[in-house]
Structure 1
Amino acid sequence: MTELNTLFREKIGMPENKKVTFTTLDHILEKTAVAFPFENLCIIANKTEAVTKQNLMDKILVRNEGGLCYELNPLLYFFLVDNGCKVTLIRGEVYNNEKKDWSHLGRTHAAILLEHEGNNYLLDTGFGGNLPLKPVPLNGETVTSRNGDFRVRALQSEYGDYVLEMKLKYKHTEWQIGYAFDSQRLVGNVTELDEISNIIVHTQKSPFNKTPMITQLTSDGNITLTNTSFTQWKHGKSKKEQIDETRFKQLAKQYFGFQDL
Protein backbone atom coordinates (compact mmCIF):
# COMPACT_ATOMS: atom_id res chain seq x y z
CA MET A 1 0.00 0.00 0.00
CA THR A 2 1.37 3.42 -0.97
CA GLU A 3 2.06 6.15 1.56
CA LEU A 4 -0.72 8.29 0.07
CA ASN A 5 -3.17 5.40 0.30
CA THR A 6 -2.27 4.77 3.94
CA LEU A 7 -2.43 8.44 4.98
CA PHE A 8 -5.68 9.07 3.10
CA ARG A 9 -7.34 6.10 4.80
CA GLU A 10 -6.11 7.28 8.20
CA LYS A 11 -7.47 10.77 7.55
CA ILE A 12 -10.98 9.63 6.62
CA GLY A 13 -11.09 6.71 9.07
CA MET A 14 -11.11 3.89 6.51
CA PRO A 15 -9.49 0.58 7.54
CA GLU A 16 -6.58 -0.66 5.42
CA ASN A 17 -8.37 -3.93 4.70
CA LYS A 18 -11.56 -2.26 3.40
CA LYS A 19 -11.70 -2.51 -0.37
CA VAL A 20 -12.62 0.46 -2.54
CA THR A 21 -15.56 -0.54 -4.74
CA PHE A 22 -18.28 1.35 -6.56
CA THR A 23 -20.67 0.61 -3.70
CA THR A 24 -18.25 2.03 -1.11
CA LEU A 25 -17.75 5.32 -2.98
CA ASP A 26 -20.74 6.95 -1.24
CA HIS A 27 -19.09 6.26 2.10
CA ILE A 28 -15.69 7.51 0.88
CA LEU A 29 -17.12 10.74 -0.57
CA GLU A 30 -19.04 11.40 2.65
CA LYS A 31 -15.97 10.81 4.81
CA THR A 32 -13.77 12.91 2.52
CA ALA A 33 -16.19 15.85 2.63
CA VAL A 34 -16.17 15.84 6.43
CA ALA A 35 -12.40 15.32 6.73
CA PHE A 36 -11.00 17.89 4.27
CA PRO A 37 -11.91 21.58 4.50
CA PHE A 38 -12.37 23.67 1.36
CA GLU A 39 -10.13 26.67 2.04
CA ASN A 40 -7.83 29.30 0.54
CA LEU A 41 -5.52 30.17 3.45
CA CYS A 42 -2.30 29.41 1.55
CA ILE A 43 -3.36 31.80 -1.20
CA ILE A 44 -4.05 34.57 1.30
CA ALA A 45 -0.71 33.88 3.02
CA ASN A 46 1.12 33.80 -0.34
CA LYS A 47 2.39 30.27 0.34
CA THR A 48 1.14 28.37 -2.70
CA GLU A 49 3.05 25.45 -4.24
CA ALA A 50 3.04 23.63 -7.55
CA VAL A 51 0.30 21.02 -7.93
CA THR A 52 2.11 17.70 -7.57
CA LYS A 53 1.21 14.43 -5.91
CA GLN A 54 3.85 14.91 -3.23
CA ASN A 55 2.89 18.52 -2.49
CA LEU A 56 -0.78 17.62 -2.21
CA MET A 57 0.02 14.74 0.12
CA ASP A 58 2.24 16.94 2.30
CA LYS A 59 -0.26 19.80 2.44
CA ILE A 60 -3.48 17.91 3.07
CA LEU A 61 -2.49 14.56 4.60
CA VAL A 62 0.67 15.50 6.54
CA ARG A 63 0.13 19.15 7.53
CA ASN A 64 -3.64 18.57 7.85
CA GLU A 65 -4.63 21.56 5.77
CA GLY A 66 -7.40 21.65 3.18
CA GLY A 67 -7.47 23.15 -0.28
CA LEU A 68 -9.49 24.21 -3.28
CA CYS A 69 -10.86 22.05 -6.11
CA TYR A 70 -7.54 21.71 -7.92
CA GLU A 71 -6.01 20.28 -4.73
CA LEU A 72 -8.81 18.24 -3.14
CA ASN A 73 -10.02 16.45 -6.26
CA PRO A 74 -6.54 15.47 -7.52
CA LEU A 75 -5.77 14.04 -4.07
CA LEU A 76 -8.94 11.94 -4.24
CA TYR A 77 -8.03 11.01 -7.82
CA PHE A 78 -4.61 9.67 -6.74
CA PHE A 79 -6.25 7.69 -3.93
CA LEU A 80 -8.75 6.12 -6.32
CA VAL A 81 -6.00 5.29 -8.84
CA ASP A 82 -4.04 3.58 -6.06
CA ASN A 83 -7.14 1.48 -5.39
CA GLY A 84 -7.66 0.34 -8.98
CA CYS A 85 -10.44 2.72 -10.04
CA LYS A 86 -10.73 3.92 -13.65
CA VAL A 87 -10.69 7.68 -13.14
CA THR A 88 -9.57 10.78 -15.01
CA LEU A 89 -9.40 14.44 -14.10
CA ILE A 90 -11.48 17.03 -15.94
CA ARG A 91 -11.84 20.81 -15.86
CA GLY A 92 -15.00 22.89 -15.82
CA GLU A 93 -16.34 26.43 -16.04
CA VAL A 94 -18.27 27.52 -12.93
CA TYR A 95 -21.68 29.20 -13.19
CA ASN A 96 -22.70 32.19 -11.03
CA ASN A 97 -26.37 31.69 -10.26
CA GLU A 98 -26.74 35.12 -8.67
CA LYS A 99 -25.51 36.88 -11.80
CA LYS A 100 -27.03 34.26 -14.13
CA ASP A 101 -23.74 34.07 -15.99
CA TRP A 102 -20.57 32.00 -16.22
CA SER A 103 -17.54 32.98 -14.15
CA HIS A 104 -15.53 33.93 -17.25
CA LEU A 105 -12.40 32.81 -15.41
CA GLY A 106 -11.85 29.91 -17.78
CA ARG A 107 -11.90 26.21 -16.95
CA THR A 108 -10.90 26.74 -13.33
CA HIS A 109 -12.82 23.91 -11.69
CA ALA A 110 -11.20 20.49 -11.37
CA ALA A 111 -13.30 17.35 -10.90
CA ILE A 112 -13.15 13.60 -11.58
CA LEU A 113 -14.77 11.26 -14.10
CA LEU A 114 -15.15 7.61 -13.12
CA GLU A 115 -15.84 4.73 -15.49
CA HIS A 116 -17.70 1.78 -14.01
CA GLU A 117 -19.22 -1.10 -15.98
CA GLY A 118 -19.35 0.95 -19.16
CA ASN A 119 -20.99 3.98 -17.55
CA ASN A 120 -19.41 7.33 -16.64
CA TYR A 121 -19.92 9.20 -13.38
CA LEU A 122 -18.90 12.59 -12.03
CA LEU A 123 -17.14 12.68 -8.65
CA ASP A 124 -16.46 15.93 -6.81
CA THR A 125 -15.08 16.62 -3.34
CA GLY A 126 -13.83 20.13 -4.14
CA PHE A 127 -16.91 22.25 -4.78
CA GLY A 128 -17.28 23.94 -1.39
CA GLY A 129 -20.62 23.17 0.21
CA ASN A 130 -22.08 21.94 -3.08
CA LEU A 131 -20.88 18.34 -2.86
CA PRO A 132 -23.05 15.52 -4.27
CA LEU A 133 -21.53 13.00 -1.82
CA LYS A 134 -22.30 10.30 -4.39
CA PRO A 135 -21.16 9.44 -7.92
CA VAL A 136 -23.43 11.33 -10.34
CA PRO A 137 -24.13 9.45 -13.60
CA LEU A 138 -23.78 11.31 -16.88
CA ASN A 139 -27.18 10.04 -18.08
CA GLY A 140 -29.28 12.74 -16.42
CA GLU A 141 -30.43 10.56 -13.53
CA THR A 142 -30.93 12.42 -10.25
CA VAL A 143 -29.01 11.20 -7.20
CA THR A 144 -30.00 12.23 -3.70
CA SER A 145 -27.75 12.57 -0.67
CA ARG A 146 -28.12 14.34 2.65
CA ASN A 147 -26.73 17.43 0.89
CA GLY A 148 -29.52 17.57 -1.71
CA ASP A 149 -30.32 16.47 -5.26
CA PHE A 150 -27.75 16.38 -8.07
CA ARG A 151 -27.75 15.49 -11.74
CA VAL A 152 -25.48 15.77 -14.78
CA ARG A 153 -27.33 16.89 -17.88
CA ALA A 154 -26.06 16.76 -21.46
CA LEU A 155 -25.78 20.32 -22.74
CA GLN A 156 -23.58 21.47 -25.61
CA SER A 157 -21.96 24.84 -24.95
CA GLU A 158 -18.67 26.62 -25.48
CA TYR A 159 -17.62 25.17 -22.12
CA GLY A 160 -18.27 21.49 -22.83
CA ASP A 161 -20.92 18.84 -23.34
CA TYR A 162 -22.38 18.46 -19.83
CA VAL A 163 -23.49 20.55 -16.85
CA LEU A 164 -23.73 19.61 -13.19
CA GLU A 165 -27.00 20.80 -11.66
CA MET A 166 -28.03 20.80 -8.01
CA LYS A 167 -30.78 21.49 -5.53
CA LEU A 168 -29.11 21.85 -2.16
CA LYS A 169 -31.16 20.68 0.79
CA TYR A 170 -32.78 23.55 2.73
CA LYS A 171 -31.34 26.11 0.27
CA HIS A 172 -32.67 25.58 -3.27
CA THR A 173 -36.20 25.01 -4.53
CA GLU A 174 -35.21 25.02 -8.20
CA TRP A 175 -32.32 23.42 -10.05
CA GLN A 176 -29.12 25.49 -10.02
CA ILE A 177 -26.23 25.13 -12.46
CA GLY A 178 -22.94 24.26 -10.78
CA TYR A 179 -20.54 24.11 -13.70
CA ALA A 180 -20.10 22.93 -17.27
CA PHE A 181 -17.45 20.43 -18.28
CA ASP A 182 -16.17 18.64 -21.36
CA SER A 183 -16.17 14.85 -20.96
CA GLN A 184 -13.87 14.48 -23.97
CA ARG A 185 -11.24 16.99 -22.87
CA LEU A 186 -9.35 15.23 -20.11
CA VAL A 187 -6.47 16.42 -17.96
CA GLY A 188 -3.43 14.59 -19.31
CA ASN A 189 -1.12 15.43 -16.43
CA VAL A 190 -1.75 16.89 -12.98
CA THR A 191 0.72 19.68 -13.76
CA GLU A 192 -1.97 21.12 -16.04
CA LEU A 193 -3.79 22.12 -12.86
CA ASP A 194 -1.07 24.70 -12.19
CA GLU A 195 -2.87 26.77 -14.84
CA ILE A 196 -6.00 26.73 -12.65
CA SER A 197 -3.92 27.65 -9.61
CA ASN A 198 -2.31 30.55 -11.45
CA ILE A 199 -5.70 31.97 -12.46
CA ILE A 200 -7.22 31.53 -9.00
CA VAL A 201 -4.20 33.01 -7.23
CA HIS A 202 -3.47 35.98 -9.49
CA THR A 203 -6.57 37.02 -11.46
CA GLN A 204 -8.44 40.05 -10.19
CA LYS A 205 -11.84 38.43 -10.79
CA SER A 206 -10.92 35.37 -8.73
CA PRO A 207 -13.18 34.99 -5.66
CA PHE A 208 -10.46 33.19 -3.69
CA ASN A 209 -7.52 35.64 -3.53
CA LYS A 210 -9.00 38.47 -1.47
CA THR A 211 -10.22 37.28 1.94
CA PRO A 212 -9.73 34.04 3.90
CA MET A 213 -12.47 31.43 3.72
CA ILE A 214 -12.90 27.93 5.14
CA THR A 215 -15.96 25.75 4.66
CA GLN A 216 -16.59 22.12 5.50
CA LEU A 217 -19.45 19.67 5.72
CA THR A 218 -20.26 18.33 9.17
CA SER A 219 -22.29 15.33 10.27
CA ASP A 220 -25.43 17.47 10.55
CA GLY A 221 -24.86 20.38 8.15
CA ASN A 222 -21.89 22.60 7.33
CA ILE A 223 -19.78 25.42 8.71
CA THR A 224 -18.25 28.42 6.94
CA LEU A 225 -15.66 30.78 8.37
CA THR A 226 -14.44 34.08 6.87
CA ASN A 227 -12.49 36.92 8.44
CA THR A 228 -15.77 38.69 9.30
CA SER A 229 -18.29 35.93 10.05
CA PHE A 230 -18.85 32.35 11.19
CA THR A 231 -21.94 30.53 9.91
CA GLN A 232 -23.19 27.17 11.13
CA TRP A 233 -25.90 25.14 9.41
CA LYS A 234 -27.44 22.40 11.56
CA HIS A 235 -30.44 20.39 10.42
CA GLY A 236 -31.46 23.13 8.02
CA LYS A 237 -31.20 26.03 10.46
CA SER A 238 -28.39 28.59 10.26
CA LYS A 239 -26.68 30.70 12.91
CA LYS A 240 -24.31 33.51 11.95
CA GLU A 241 -21.79 35.26 14.19
CA GLN A 242 -19.92 38.45 13.28
CA ILE A 243 -16.26 38.09 14.25
CA ASP A 244 -12.89 39.85 14.34
CA GLU A 245 -9.37 38.62 13.52
CA THR A 246 -8.77 37.16 16.98
CA ARG A 247 -12.02 35.23 16.89
CA PHE A 248 -11.22 34.04 13.36
CA LYS A 249 -8.01 32.41 14.58
CA GLN A 250 -9.82 30.82 17.53
CA LEU A 251 -12.55 29.35 15.35
CA ALA A 252 -10.11 28.19 12.66
CA LYS A 253 -8.31 26.18 15.33
CA GLN A 254 -11.42 24.98 17.17
CA TYR A 255 -13.48 23.82 14.19
CA PHE A 256 -10.94 23.17 11.42
CA GLY A 257 -7.72 22.32 13.25
CA PHE A 258 -5.60 25.18 11.90
CA GLN A 259 -2.99 25.81 14.57
CA ASP A 260 -0.69 28.58 13.33
CA LEU A 261 -2.50 31.49 11.70
Structure 2
Amino acid sequence: MNNLNELFRNRVGISQDAVITFQYLDTVLKKTAETIPFENLCIIENRTKEISKENLASKMLQQNEGGLCYELNTILYLFLYENGFIPSLVRGVTYNHMNQQWSGTGNTHVVNLITHNGQAYVVDTGFGGNLPLKPVPLSGETVASSNGEFRVERTDSEHGDYMLYMKLNRKDEDWIIDYAFNSKEPIQNISELNEVQRIIMEHPESAFNKKPLITKITDKGNITLTDTSFTQWVDRALKKETIDEKRFHEIRKEYFNL
Protein backbone atom coordinates (compact mmCIF):
# COMPACT_ATOMS: atom_id res chain seq x y z
CA MET A 1 0.00 0.00 0.00
CA ASN A 2 1.18 3.53 -0.71
CA ASN A 3 2.34 5.77 2.13
CA LEU A 4 -0.56 6.93 4.33
CA ASN A 5 0.85 10.45 4.49
CA GLU A 6 0.87 10.70 0.69
CA LEU A 7 -2.60 9.17 0.36
CA PHE A 8 -4.10 11.50 2.99
CA ARG A 9 -2.64 14.59 1.32
CA ASN A 10 -3.95 13.46 -2.06
CA ARG A 11 -7.42 12.81 -0.67
CA VAL A 12 -7.93 16.15 1.08
CA GLY A 13 -5.91 18.34 -1.27
CA ILE A 14 -2.76 19.15 0.69
CA SER A 15 0.49 19.61 -1.21
CA GLN A 16 3.03 16.82 -0.76
CA ASP A 17 5.56 19.53 0.07
CA ALA A 18 3.49 21.29 2.76
CA VAL A 19 5.02 21.18 6.24
CA ILE A 20 2.30 20.33 8.75
CA THR A 21 2.98 22.77 11.57
CA PHE A 22 0.60 23.48 14.44
CA GLN A 23 -0.44 26.68 12.67
CA TYR A 24 -1.27 24.67 9.54
CA LEU A 25 -3.69 22.39 11.40
CA ASP A 26 -6.58 24.80 10.74
CA THR A 27 -6.09 24.14 7.03
CA VAL A 28 -5.80 20.39 7.55
CA LEU A 29 -9.02 20.27 9.57
CA LYS A 30 -10.97 22.43 7.13
CA LYS A 31 -9.84 20.48 4.08
CA THR A 32 -10.54 17.16 5.79
CA ALA A 33 -14.04 18.23 6.88
CA GLU A 34 -14.90 19.44 3.38
CA THR A 35 -13.58 16.28 1.70
CA ILE A 36 -14.19 13.20 3.84
CA PRO A 37 -17.84 12.85 4.87
CA PHE A 38 -19.11 11.71 8.23
CA GLU A 39 -21.22 8.68 7.29
CA ASN A 40 -22.44 5.27 8.46
CA LEU A 41 -23.07 3.44 5.19
CA CYS A 42 -20.78 0.52 6.07
CA ILE A 43 -22.83 -0.17 9.17
CA ILE A 44 -26.19 0.18 7.41
CA GLU A 45 -24.99 -1.99 4.52
CA ASN A 46 -23.39 -4.56 6.86
CA ARG A 47 -19.90 -4.36 5.36
CA THR A 48 -17.73 -3.18 8.23
CA LYS A 49 -14.15 -4.40 8.58
CA GLU A 50 -11.70 -4.64 11.45
CA ILE A 51 -10.28 -1.30 12.54
CA SER A 52 -6.66 -1.21 11.41
CA LYS A 53 -4.33 1.24 9.74
CA GLU A 54 -4.51 -0.69 6.47
CA ASN A 55 -8.30 -0.99 6.43
CA LEU A 56 -8.87 2.66 7.35
CA ALA A 57 -6.47 3.88 4.68
CA SER A 58 -8.04 1.60 2.09
CA LYS A 59 -11.57 2.73 2.93
CA MET A 60 -11.12 6.49 3.26
CA LEU A 61 -7.98 7.28 1.28
CA GLN A 62 -8.17 4.82 -1.61
CA GLN A 63 -11.85 3.97 -1.99
CA ASN A 64 -12.77 7.59 -1.10
CA GLU A 65 -15.44 6.69 1.43
CA GLY A 66 -16.10 8.47 4.71
CA GLY A 67 -16.57 7.13 8.21
CA LEU A 68 -17.66 7.76 11.78
CA CYS A 69 -15.66 9.39 14.57
CA TYR A 70 -13.59 6.32 15.43
CA GLU A 71 -12.53 6.07 11.78
CA LEU A 72 -12.15 9.76 10.88
CA ASN A 73 -10.20 10.75 13.96
CA THR A 74 -8.03 7.65 13.78
CA ILE A 75 -6.99 8.31 10.18
CA LEU A 76 -6.20 11.89 11.28
CA TYR A 77 -4.26 10.51 14.27
CA LEU A 78 -2.14 8.37 11.92
CA PHE A 79 -1.55 11.33 9.60
CA LEU A 80 -0.54 13.62 12.47
CA TYR A 81 1.83 10.99 13.81
CA GLU A 82 3.53 10.66 10.42
CA ASN A 83 4.01 14.43 10.38
CA GLY A 84 5.86 14.77 13.67
CA PHE A 85 3.05 15.21 16.19
CA ILE A 86 2.54 12.98 19.21
CA PRO A 87 -1.27 12.71 19.28
CA SER A 88 -3.34 10.56 21.56
CA LEU A 89 -6.82 9.16 21.00
CA VAL A 90 -9.29 9.37 23.88
CA ARG A 91 -12.89 8.31 24.29
CA GLY A 92 -15.83 10.49 25.23
CA VAL A 93 -19.61 10.55 25.66
CA THR A 94 -21.83 12.71 23.46
CA TYR A 95 -24.69 14.78 24.85
CA ASN A 96 -28.09 14.98 23.16
CA HIS A 97 -29.25 18.48 23.99
CA MET A 98 -32.65 17.87 22.38
CA ASN A 99 -33.37 15.05 24.83
CA GLN A 100 -31.23 16.55 27.60
CA GLN A 101 -29.36 13.30 28.21
CA TRP A 102 -26.03 11.57 27.66
CA SER A 103 -25.76 8.95 24.94
CA GLY A 104 -26.83 5.47 25.99
CA THR A 105 -23.92 4.01 24.01
CA GLY A 106 -21.45 5.35 26.58
CA ASN A 107 -17.94 6.50 25.74
CA THR A 108 -18.05 5.80 22.01
CA HIS A 109 -16.95 9.22 20.74
CA VAL A 110 -13.27 9.13 19.79
CA VAL A 111 -11.21 12.30 19.54
CA ASN A 112 -7.58 13.40 19.22
CA LEU A 113 -5.57 15.31 21.79
CA ILE A 114 -2.27 16.99 20.97
CA THR A 115 0.12 19.19 22.94
CA HIS A 116 1.76 22.33 21.57
CA ASN A 117 4.04 24.58 23.62
CA GLY A 118 2.86 22.89 26.81
CA GLN A 119 -0.85 23.39 26.05
CA ALA A 120 -3.19 20.47 25.30
CA TYR A 121 -5.76 20.78 22.50
CA VAL A 122 -8.73 18.83 21.19
CA VAL A 123 -8.35 18.08 17.46
CA ASP A 124 -11.62 16.63 16.20
CA THR A 125 -12.61 15.81 12.63
CA GLY A 126 -15.23 13.21 13.56
CA PHE A 127 -18.31 15.03 14.83
CA GLY A 128 -20.39 15.55 11.72
CA GLY A 129 -21.57 19.11 11.19
CA ASN A 130 -20.44 20.21 14.66
CA LEU A 131 -16.70 20.40 13.95
CA PRO A 132 -14.59 23.18 15.46
CA LEU A 133 -12.35 23.19 12.34
CA LYS A 134 -9.50 24.33 14.60
CA PRO A 135 -7.61 22.90 17.58
CA VAL A 136 -9.49 23.80 20.78
CA PRO A 137 -7.33 24.38 23.88
CA LEU A 138 -8.18 22.65 27.13
CA SER A 139 -7.55 25.96 28.88
CA GLY A 140 -11.14 27.18 28.45
CA GLU A 141 -10.25 29.73 25.77
CA THR A 142 -12.93 30.19 23.10
CA VAL A 143 -11.98 29.35 19.52
CA ALA A 144 -13.98 30.75 16.60
CA SER A 145 -14.17 29.30 13.09
CA SER A 146 -16.48 29.52 10.09
CA ASN A 147 -18.65 26.90 11.83
CA GLY A 148 -19.11 28.69 15.15
CA GLU A 149 -17.52 29.07 18.57
CA PHE A 150 -16.06 26.25 20.68
CA ARG A 151 -14.47 25.89 24.08
CA VAL A 152 -13.32 23.12 26.43
CA GLU A 153 -13.84 23.35 30.17
CA ARG A 154 -12.38 21.31 32.99
CA THR A 155 -15.00 19.27 34.83
CA ASP A 156 -15.23 16.49 37.37
CA SER A 157 -17.89 14.02 36.35
CA GLU A 158 -18.49 10.35 35.73
CA HIS A 159 -18.16 11.10 32.01
CA GLY A 160 -14.63 12.51 32.11
CA ASP A 161 -12.47 15.42 33.17
CA TYR A 162 -13.30 17.83 30.31
CA MET A 163 -16.34 18.95 28.33
CA LEU A 164 -16.44 20.52 24.89
CA TYR A 165 -19.10 23.19 24.32
CA MET A 166 -20.25 24.67 21.02
CA LYS A 167 -22.28 27.57 19.68
CA LEU A 168 -22.87 26.92 16.00
CA ASN A 169 -23.22 29.95 13.74
CA ARG A 170 -26.25 28.63 11.92
CA LYS A 171 -28.51 27.68 14.81
CA ASP A 172 -27.24 28.12 18.37
CA GLU A 173 -27.88 31.24 20.43
CA ASP A 174 -26.49 29.77 23.64
CA TRP A 175 -23.63 27.42 24.48
CA ILE A 176 -24.53 23.74 24.44
CA ILE A 177 -22.56 20.63 25.45
CA ASP A 178 -21.04 18.62 22.61
CA TYR A 179 -19.42 15.85 24.61
CA ALA A 180 -17.37 14.97 27.67
CA PHE A 181 -14.10 13.07 27.46
CA ASN A 182 -11.45 11.56 29.70
CA SER A 183 -8.00 12.94 28.93
CA LYS A 184 -6.31 10.60 31.42
CA GLU A 185 -7.11 7.33 29.66
CA PRO A 186 -5.64 7.41 26.14
CA ILE A 187 -6.28 4.51 23.81
CA GLN A 188 -3.18 2.32 23.79
CA ASN A 189 -3.79 0.55 20.48
CA ILE A 190 -6.24 1.36 17.69
CA SER A 191 -7.45 -2.25 17.82
CA GLU A 192 -9.35 -1.13 20.94
CA LEU A 193 -11.64 0.78 18.59
CA ASN A 194 -13.15 -2.47 17.40
CA GLU A 195 -15.11 -2.41 20.66
CA VAL A 196 -16.41 1.06 19.80
CA GLN A 197 -17.42 -0.11 16.34
CA ARG A 198 -19.19 -3.14 17.79
CA ILE A 199 -21.20 -0.98 20.19
CA ILE A 200 -22.17 1.44 17.43
CA MET A 201 -23.23 -1.49 15.24
CA GLU A 202 -25.20 -3.40 17.87
CA HIS A 203 -26.41 -1.12 20.66
CA PRO A 204 -30.18 -0.44 20.61
CA GLU A 205 -29.60 3.25 21.45
CA SER A 206 -26.98 3.78 18.75
CA ALA A 207 -27.90 6.63 16.42
CA PHE A 208 -25.95 5.06 13.56
CA ASN A 209 -27.35 1.55 13.11
CA LYS A 210 -30.91 2.38 12.04
CA LYS A 211 -30.83 4.55 8.93
CA PRO A 212 -28.21 6.10 6.65
CA LEU A 213 -26.65 9.43 7.59
CA ILE A 214 -24.15 11.35 5.50
CA THR A 215 -22.97 14.85 6.35
CA LYS A 216 -20.13 17.12 5.30
CA ILE A 217 -18.91 20.64 5.91
CA THR A 218 -18.98 22.91 2.84
CA ASP A 219 -17.35 26.26 2.15
CA LYS A 220 -20.71 27.94 2.86
CA GLY A 221 -22.15 25.75 5.63
CA ASN A 222 -22.92 22.06 5.63
CA ILE A 223 -25.06 19.39 3.94
CA THR A 224 -26.79 16.38 5.50
CA LEU A 225 -28.46 13.44 3.79
CA THR A 226 -30.72 10.78 5.31
CA ASP A 227 -33.02 8.29 3.64
CA THR A 228 -35.91 10.77 3.84
CA SER A 229 -34.39 14.26 3.61
CA PHE A 230 -31.59 16.40 2.21
CA THR A 231 -30.69 19.45 4.31
CA GLN A 232 -28.44 22.27 3.18
CA TRP A 233 -27.17 25.18 5.26
CA VAL A 234 -25.87 27.85 2.88
CA ASP A 235 -24.67 31.13 4.38
CA ARG A 236 -26.79 30.39 7.48
CA ALA A 237 -29.93 29.86 5.38
CA LEU A 238 -31.72 26.51 5.65
CA LYS A 239 -33.04 24.52 2.71
CA LYS A 240 -34.63 21.12 3.32
CA GLU A 241 -35.90 18.67 0.71
CA THR A 242 -38.04 15.57 1.33
CA ILE A 243 -36.69 12.74 -0.79
CA ASP A 244 -37.37 9.15 -1.86
CA GLU A 245 -34.94 6.26 -2.37
CA LYS A 246 -34.12 7.20 -5.96
CA ARG A 247 -33.30 10.78 -4.99
CA PHE A 248 -31.23 9.53 -2.02
CA HIS A 249 -28.91 7.63 -4.35
CA GLU A 250 -28.68 10.58 -6.73
CA ILE A 251 -27.70 13.01 -3.96
CA ARG A 252 -25.35 10.48 -2.39
CA LYS A 253 -23.40 10.35 -5.64
CA GLU A 254 -23.68 13.98 -6.72
CA TYR A 255 -22.85 15.70 -3.43
CA PHE A 256 -20.80 13.10 -1.55
CA ASN A 257 -19.36 10.91 -4.33
CA LEU A 258 -20.45 7.79 -2.46
TM range (shorter): over 0.9
Letter in 2 for 1:150: F
Structure 2: distance between partners of 1:180 and 1:35? 26
Q: Return the letter of the residue paired with 1:8.
A: F
2:114–2:120 contact (8 Å) kept in structure 1? yes
Residue in 1 that maps onto 2:41: 41
What's 2:61 paired with?
Answer: 61
SS in structure 1 of the partner of residue 5 of structure 2:
helix
Identity of aligned residues (%): 53
Counterparts of 1:39 and 1:170, CA distance in 2: 21
CA distance in 1, matches of 2:177, 2:204: 23
* Matched ranges for 1:39-188 at <5 A: 39-188=39-188
Q: Could you list the per-position Cα deviations for residues 166-194 of structure 1 after superposition, in whole angstroms to 9, with x for gaps in the alignment?
A: 00002101111011001111000001111
Contact 2:40 2:213 in 1 (8 A): yes
> Which secondary structure state, in structure 1, belongs to the residue aligned with residue 153 of structure 2?
strand
Amino acid at match of 1:128: G
Letter in 1 for 2:78: F
Structure 1: unaligned runs, 5 residues or longer = none
Partner of 1:242: 242
Contact 2:170–2:233 at 8 Å: present in 1 too? no
| 1:70 aligned partner, one-letter code | Y
Deviations 1:51-82 (A, max 9, x none): 10000000000110000000000000000000
Q: Are 1:3 and 2:9 matched, yes or no?
A: no
Letter in 1 for 2:106: G
SS in 1 for 2:31: helix
Runs (4 or more) in structure 1 with deviation over 3 Å come to none
Structure 2: how far apart are the matches of 1:60 and 1:11?
8
Matched position secondary structure for 1:193: helix
What SS is found at the alignment partner of 1:173? coil
Normalised by the size of structure 1, how large is the TM-score? 0.97
SS of equivalent to 1:186: coil
Distance (whole Å) between structure 1 residues aligned to residue 158 and residue 190 of structure 2: 23
Cα distance in 2 for partners of 1:213, 1:166 equals: 21
Task: Using the TM superposition, give the Cα deviation of residue 236 of structure 1 relative to its aligned residue in structure 2, in angstroms.
Answer: 0.2
CA distance in 1, matches of 2:41, 2:59: 12
**Conserved 8 A contact 2:104-2:206:** no
Q: Which residue of 1 aligns with 2:206?
A: 206
**Which residue of structure 2 aligns with residue 217 of structure 1?**
217
* Corresponding residue SS for 1:224: strand
* SS across alignment from 1:199: helix
SS across alignment from 1:130: coil
Match of 2:194? 194
| 1:31 and 2:39 aligned | no
How many residues in Structure 1 have an aligned counterpart in Structure 2? 257
1:106 shift after superposition: 1.2
Superposition deviation, residue 105 in structure 1: 1.2
The C-alpha deviation readout for 1:149-171, integer Å capped at 9, x for no partner, is 00000011001100000000021
TM-score for both structures, normalised by structure 2 = 0.98
Shift of residue 104 of structure 1? 2.4
Residue 101 (structure 1) shift: 1.2
SS, match of residue 185 in structure 1: coil
Kept after mapping to 2: 8 A contact 1:86/1:116: no
